[in-house]
């Protein structure tokens, strides 16, 4: 009750949210203040605000309630003999091209863990983690500043020029920004994280974006790859999206000599939320750059061979409702 009033700054609204009467809440708050011998709220005609004592009490209360919620989840899972779950909200590139291999690897050391993955944009993920609706968020690029939001970089993703193998540039390892402007360019839609990072990097190097010959704007990385493979243009996308053996046979990746473009991948958690043991294991893996590099270098089949013939058809490797593709598509849809 105290937490609700502290967050709404309004007893009437709190009463409505809690389906209680306003006088009852006011009385309970008074009893609480009397018990601790301190005034927790300053009251005005516009509502209530926390005093210094109230702010201290609020922070402690949030921690206590989080611990109780964690206990409740663990006990409930044991009582119902449920499999353990890790809930993750992630942006598109990470969800399609990075998570499948990570979950496949984790299944070997944590075979009793299932994953529930939700693909969303950065803004939605930040809000979900801030409001404790999600314990872990994985995003591309920078994150907005929110109270209690902990942001930790775990990977630097390189954007590269991707061309079909039959393109005249396929014998080269890099091109210049000026050369890029001479080719039809297929890009992500306006507002996408990949496109924002590309445009920002080009602007910082004094390149006029109007020189780019953008012929198509597509919302799907797979659609962009299909268009490029057909010879209808070139693109600038994450190197992760063309890292499979199949992609390496179809495409050639080039660096931009005068504009190497990197963007951070970040882990989002709430400083006031206590991670479960399994969530902590996932975060620890993401923080281990050497291990993560080795995992990402392997295709699904290589993981099976080198990780004791790991079975990717196990329910622990869940789906993104058809979001996966290439070699991992069948496994990515399994749960």
CATH 1.20.1250.20: does it fit domain 1-78?
Answer: no
Distances (CA, A) of 312 to 12, 103, 241, 247, 325: 52, 9, 20, 21, 14
How many Cα neighbours within 13 Å face the side chain of 136? Answer: 22
Q: pLDDT of 3-34, one tens digit each?
A: 999 999 998 888 888 888 888 999 999 999 99
Q: pLDDT of 93-117, one tens digit each?
A: 898 888 988 988 888 888 888 888 9
Name 174's bridge partners: 255
Give the model's confidence band at 207: pLDDT under 50 very low, under 70 low, under 90 confident, else very high. confident
Q: What was the pLDDT predicted at 323?
A: 35
Pinpoint the residues of the chain covered by CATH 1.10.10.10: 1-78
Q: pLDDT of 279-329, one tens digit each?
A: 888 999 999 988 988 888 765 444 444 444 333 333 333 333 333 333 333
Fold designation for 156-264: D-Maltodextrin-Binding Protein; domain 2 (3.40.190)
- Return the number of other C-beta atoms located less than 10 Å from residue 16's C-beta: 12
Pinpoint the residues of the chain covered by CATH 3.40.190.10: 84-153+274-299, 156-264
Q: What is the pTM of this model?
A: 0.61
Give the model's confidence band at 45: pLDDT under 50 very low, under 70 low, under 90 confident, else very high. confident
Fold designation for 84-153+274-299: D-Maltodextrin-Binding Protein; domain 2 (3.40.190)
Mean predicted confidence (pLDDT) in 224-237: 93
Mean predicted confidence (pLDDT) in 58-85: 76
Q: What was the pLDDT predicted at 78?
A: 61
Give the model's confidence band at 168: pLDDT under 50 very low, under 70 low, under 90 confident, else very high. very high
Q: What was the pLDDT predicted at 77?
A: 61
Name 262's bridge partners: 158
Q: What percent of the chain has pLDDT over 90?
A: 31
What's the mean pLDDT when you consider all of the chain? 81
Two tokens at 226? 């299909």
């Amino acid at each position: 009750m105290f937490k609700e009033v502290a967050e709404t700054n309004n007893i009437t609204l709190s009463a409505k949210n809690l389906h209680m009467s306003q006088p009852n809440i006011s009385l309970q708050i008074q009893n609480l203040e009397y018990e601790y011998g301190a005034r927790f709220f300053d009251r005005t005609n516009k509502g209530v605000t926390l005093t210094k004592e109230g702010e201290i009490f609020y922070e402690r209360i949030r921690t206590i309630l989080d611990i109780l919620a964690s206990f409740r989840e663990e006990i409930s899972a044991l009582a119902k003999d449920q499999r353990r779950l890790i809930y993750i909200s992630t942006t598109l590139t990470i969800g399609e091209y990075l998570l499948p291999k990570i979950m496949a690897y984790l299944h070997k050391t944590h075979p009793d863990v299932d994953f529930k993955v939700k693909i969303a944009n950065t803004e939605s993920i930040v809000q979900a983690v801030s409001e404790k609706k999600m314990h872990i968020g994985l995003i591309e690029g920078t994150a907005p500043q929110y109270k209690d939001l902990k942001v930790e970089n775990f990977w630097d993703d390189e954007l590269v020029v991707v061309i079909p193998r039959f393109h005249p540039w396929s014998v080269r390892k890099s091109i210049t920004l000026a050369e890029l402007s001479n080719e039809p360019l297929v890009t992500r839609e306006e507002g996408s994280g990949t496109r924002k990072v590309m445009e920002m990097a080009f602007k910082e190097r004094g390149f006029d974006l109007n020189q780019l010959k953008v012929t198509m704007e597509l919302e799907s990385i797979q659609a962009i790859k299909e268009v490029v493979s057909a010879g209808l243009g070139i693109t600038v996308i994450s190197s992760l999206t063309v890292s499979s053996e199949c992609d390496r046979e179809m495409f050639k990746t080039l660096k931009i000599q005068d504009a190497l473009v990197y963007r951070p991948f970040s882990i989002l958690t709430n400083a006031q939320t206590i991670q479960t043991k399994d969530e902590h294991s996932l975060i620890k893996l993401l923080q281990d750059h050497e291990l993560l590099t080795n995992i990402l270098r392997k295709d699904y089949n290589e993981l099976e061979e080198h990780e004791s013939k790991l079975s990717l058809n196990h329910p622990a490797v869940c789906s993104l409702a058809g979001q996966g593709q290439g070699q991992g598509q069948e496994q990515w849809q399994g749960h």
